[in-house]
Structure 1
Amino acid sequence: MRKLLYAVGGLVLVVALFFVFVILSSTKPFDPPLAVPGYRQARLDVAHRDVPLPLHIWYPATEGTPELIGQNALFYGHHVRPDAPLPLSAPVVLLSHGSGGNAVQLGWLAAHLANRGYLVIGTNHPGTTSRDSLPERTVMIWERPADLTAMLNWLQGGGLAGFAPNGDVTTLGFSLGGHSALAMAGLKVSKSRFIDYCDRNAGLVDCGWLTAGGVDFAAIDASKYEADLSDPRVTRTIALDPALPQAATRESLSELAPAVLIVNLGQPDTIPPAMRADALAEAIPQAQYTSIDGAAHFSALPRCSLFGNVMIGLAGDDNICSDRGLRPRDQIHSEVLSAIDAILPAQ
């Protein structure tokens, strides 16, 4: 009986210590910065999806009480002014998150651009977003640009009452969202080039995850995969660690019309082929390319808590919170924003 009591007592102590660790190591509230953007949410029914698109919209604002969004035990969030008055007009940035991510995770970027005078609109792409990320949907790369086009149509059609786009449209994306942004500018990919790439990189990064998920590469709809998904309204494109650089066709790269900035997180020789984009940038006329020292792919995500580092590391999956051997994410984000500011002037 005494041994049982000791065992139960030990278990209670371990549980208590765990909860103390969670409390002490999780994210903490912090004061809002001097500039805080407006923020709204909406839903958009689209013909190519069987579910509505959840819209997240950041824009310039000075009125309203700042609130913290996107923060949980793992990730730090950012401040916004919910439902603040809209500007009458502004340039538009169409924002696309990475595979398995979501729009609010890129709030550090969206808020910065909104404070510089842009209206930033993003969605959680169904089938490739947080808690709804499926390998068989990930290879349906034509769905995401269609989302972005539908969002732009909605804005130009008066969907956000009281606001009118001024005609300046930037596509901006991270990882698979980076590919989506480039596809809107006219980049095309080849199914055979993608399959050849995965044959050479079996079990690694994107190809390994897709294969483990049961994706039959041969069954990909080539007519949709290789389609022209460009939108002539796009005037500028920014891609952070864009996916599928190995599948891009040289012909489409040479014909990209909008101004293009490609940012890689890390130096080219340290970046996996799935995201290494220096050669991609070289093939695009007048494209700008920059790489960020001391960074890695997941440096584009929000800053993590100690709890996030420990718990995600123990989960055995990609440790999206680990910055071991890297510079702090705040520094990396600042450099990314400086590169973007150079081609997106303040309004």
Structure 2
Amino acid sequence: MTPGPRIAVLIAGAALAQAAQAENAIDLVRPDAPELAAHGQYVVGVRTLTFTDEDRIDVVNTTAEGTPPVAPREITVEAFYPAAEGTEPGGTYDAILRDGMTSVTLTGMAARDAAPAEGSFPLVVISHGYPGNRFLMAHMGENLASKGYVAVSVDHPDSTYSDLGAFASTLVNRPVDQAFVVESMAALDDDLGAITDAERTGVVGYSMGGYGALIFGGAGVTEAAVTRTEPERFVPPQRLLARNQAGSAEHAALVDPRVKALVAIGPWGRNTDFWDAEGLATLEKPLLLVAGGADDVSEYDSIREIFEETSGTNRHLLTFEGANHNAAAPMPAPAEAWEVSDALGRAPFDHYADAVWDNVRMNNILQHFATVFLDLHLKGDETRAGYLDLVETAEDGTWSTGEDGTPDADHTYWTGFPNRTAMKLRFEARQAE
């Protein structure tokens, strides 16, 4: 039986959608994306680098007694950067899915090992969750690099899909990894190092990456977190978490004056009392918090506590109403993630996707606000401040423009968002006290 015209169109549309999905594109920008989600003026290059911290405390192999061992800690990063004029854009990434086994190919706009552009560009460190890997937010790396940043997305040992170790290692090492990557990028003596300005550094962290960013930025953990005895997975041996404790000399030494801004997406920790108001108040870096209003992992109410209690800095909170813990950060689920994984016994789709929001839309909104925030604080672009002066609830804004698109006096819709596209978003601000 021959399908009717409408059925044939639907079948053709589904086939095209499947073909597009099979490409696993990470560089999509929707036609209704906010203004600054668009790619910037630079073609993007990408390199894979490995840095080794020769004498890191080996948390996984530390026992209850004796001197904690040290071992080399190798950290692999994907470095995205503005590429030289004439570079042909486009390339692929070989990545691993959440199940730790399935290989996938991602496509993006970056050209592998391209020569860097001329100039000097701020550094941004991108830090994934537990578990995750350096490709989970590669969309952000590419997008920022196209706008004149060197964006370095990190594989954190003991915390990736294919190298998943004790959670205690992540608790101790995450901010130390971030600090080490900044130092390693600052010390590069090649052509990429020549264009990297580590004196203007930002950190973007998701979930445990957000936990690390807050500690690295100055919010030391509590004494209660250091001395707790349960649950066991939250207890690093021999009080090794003390190096991240508020008021300790080690934590004070960790905080880097080169870091000028933090973006923490669904940061974990306040829900389990790793911070209190006193410890969070010591953070002085400008802070953009991003959260799903239904986050049940880091818990939305706890993220709001971080927002209220980081009283030592100017901070903002962007909320995706109805979204869970996957709000904004993860790339679109690769096609292979739609299939059941033997290792997990389920499809890993839910590790990437949200039940309410489209990934590409969330990615684009995050790219917009991250661009605004980092341009303001790392590049000193004061024209970006207007993009942060918004009515709190987007739906309370009024769209009112002339025929030529010029805003009328009563126009209060979110700056940079096309009409009707800022639905179910909330943006709040607090000043340092």
Q: TM-score range by the shorter chain?
A: 0.7 to 0.9
Q: Deviations over 1:172-208 (max 9, x none)?
A: 1111111111111101112524887x97xxxxxxx6x
Matched, 1:295 2:302: no
AA matched with 1:338? H
Q: Deviations over 1:289-343 (max 9, x none)?
A: 1111343223422212454123159724875357463121001111112221221
Residue 106 of structure 1: aligned partner: 137
The 3 A distance-change label for structure 1 pair 219 and 305 is: same
Residue 260 of structure 2: aligned partner: 235
SS at match of 2:279: helix
SS at match of 2:287: strand
Residue 20 of structure 1: aligned partner: none
Give the conservation status (yes or no) of the 8 Å contact 2:78–2:153.
yes
Give the CA deviation at 1:156: 2.3
Give the CA deviation at 1:235: 0.8
Of 185, 192, 202, 1:170 maps to 202
RMSD: 3.3
The 3 A distance-change label for structure 1 pair 50 and 333 is: same
Task: Name the CA distance, whole Å, in 1 between partners of 2:298 and 2:78.
Answer: 31
Task: Name the CA distance, whole Å, in 2 between partners of 1:31 and 1:55.
Answer: 17
Task: Name the CA distance, whole Å, in 1 between partners of 2:221 and 2:139.
Answer: 30
Give the conservation status (yes or no) of the 8 Å contact 1:185–1:234.
yes
TM-score by length of 1: 0.76
Residue 290 of structure 2: aligned partner: 263
Residue 67 of structure 1: aligned partner: 91
Give the conservation status (yes or no) of the 8 Å contact 1:103–1:123.
yes
Task: Name the CA distance, whole Å, in 2 between partners of 1:179 and 1:31.
Answer: 25
Task: Name the CA distance, whole Å, in 2 between partners of 1:183 and 1:113.
Answer: 23
TM-score by length of 2: 0.62
Bigger proportion of residues as helix: 1
What is the aligned residue count?
309
Where structure 2 has 5 or more consecutive residues not aligned to the other structure, the ranges are 1-17, 29-38, 57-70, 97-102, 380-433
Give the conservation status (yes or no) of the 8 Å contact 1:292–1:335.
no
Give the CA deviation at 1:250: 2.0
Residue 217 of structure 2: aligned partner: 185
Give the conservation status (yes or no) of the 8 Å contact 1:53–1:124.
yes
Residue 367 of structure 2: aligned partner: 337
Q: How does 1:43-82 map to 2 (within 5 A)?
A: 43-47=50-54, 48=56, 49-61=71-83, 62-65=85-88, 66-70=90-94, 76-82=106-112
Give the CA deviation at 1:272: 3.6
Task: Name the CA distance, whole Å, in 2 between partners of 1:160 and 1:243.
Answer: 36
Residue 282 of structure 1: aligned partner: 308
Task: Name the CA distance, whole Å, in 2 between partners of 1:181 and 1:328.
Answer: 26
The 3 A distance-change label for structure 1 pair 25 and 84 is: closer
AA matched with 1:282? E
AA matched with 1:250? A
The 3 A distance-change label for structure 1 pair 58 and 192 is: same
Percent of counterpart pairs with the same letter?
Answer: 18
